Amino acid sequence: NAGVTQTPKFQVLKTGQSMTLQCAQDMNHNSMYWYRQDPGMGLRLIYYSASEGTTDKGEVPNGYNVSRLNKREFSLRLESAAPSQTSVYFCASSEWFGPGTRLTVT
Amino acid sequence: AQSVAQPEDQVNVAEGNPLTVKCTYSVSGNPYLFWYVQYPNRGLQFLLKYITGDNLVKGSYGFEAEFNKSQTSFHLKKPSALVSDSALYFCAVRDSSSYKLIFGSGTRLLVRP
């Protein structure tokens, strides 16, 4: 039982590059979330998914897309990365959080 | 629209003394309330949640929180603070009719020996 896993742990991108952050859970939860946490700040909700096949915008969705193709996985995609997207990204499954992905965009 | 406020950026308390970290919320329906702790360069650890029932919720590491509907508050408490409790604490809320989970700005707890 791994809980919530996120890959990769660290990533450096150049401006304009794209990438997908992966999140998976093995707790059979319906709801999943993506947050970003900037230095010294709280968590801001990017997107969430109430159940398989559904997604909704959170507080800061611009520049991101998500996909919930099955109950286990909820991915976050940056189509054209910008320095303002440098942050730590956390995935959550119900109330349980993953370890985070530290993303730097240069 | 739902919102959550943590009015104190930092709380200082001496080891062995009781601690309180404040949280107030606003939702249109019934609230689901959560507390998390974050240690430096780590993820968020779930402490406790209120969904319904008893207003006093007990959680991990000796923490508890009291739901007060009339004051729209959900303050985190511990009877006797430890130096190892020093960390960043987050309150979160969602409306019972939605899965949108919103976090407060966080409160840094510093427990001095």
What's the average model confidence in pLDDT over A7-31? 96
What's the average model confidence in pLDDT over A45-62? 95
Chain A environment of B102 (Cβ under 8 Å):
45, 59
Q: How far apart are CA B16 and CA B1, in angstroms?
A: 39
Q: Give the residue among B17, B4, B19, B28 at the shortest CA–CA distance from B95.
A: B28
Q: Looking at chain B, which residue has its C-alpha nearest residue A36? A: B103
Q: Which of B43, B99, B105 sits opposite A97 (nearest CB)?
A: B43
A103 pLDDT more than 80? yes
Chain A environment of B90 (Cβ under 8 Å):
42-43
Structure tokens at B45: 């650890």
| Confidence band for A2, pLDDT divided at 50, 70 and 90 | confident
Q: CB of B77 within 8 A of CB of B23?
A: no
B50 contacts chain A (CB < 8 A): no
Exposure on the CB side of residue A63, measured as CA atoms within 13 A: 15
> Could you state, in order of their start, the residue ranges of all structural domains in chain B?
3-112
| pLDDT tens string B55-110 | 999 999 999 999 999 999 999 999 999 999 999 999 999 998 889 999 999 999 99
The pLDDT of residue A76 is: 98
Query: Cβ of B14: how many Cβ atoms within 10 Å?
Result: 11
Q: How many helices (H) and strands (E) does chain B have?
A: 0, 12
Structure tokens at B21: 């970290």
CATH of domain B3-112: 2.60.40.10
Distances (CA, A) of A84 to A67, A78, B91, B108: 22, 12, 25, 25
For B15, the 3-state DSSP assignment is coil
Q: Which of A9, A30, A38, A43 to mutate to test the interface with B (most CBs of B within 10 A)?
A: A43
Q: Give the containing element (helix H, strand E) for B58.
A: strand B56-58
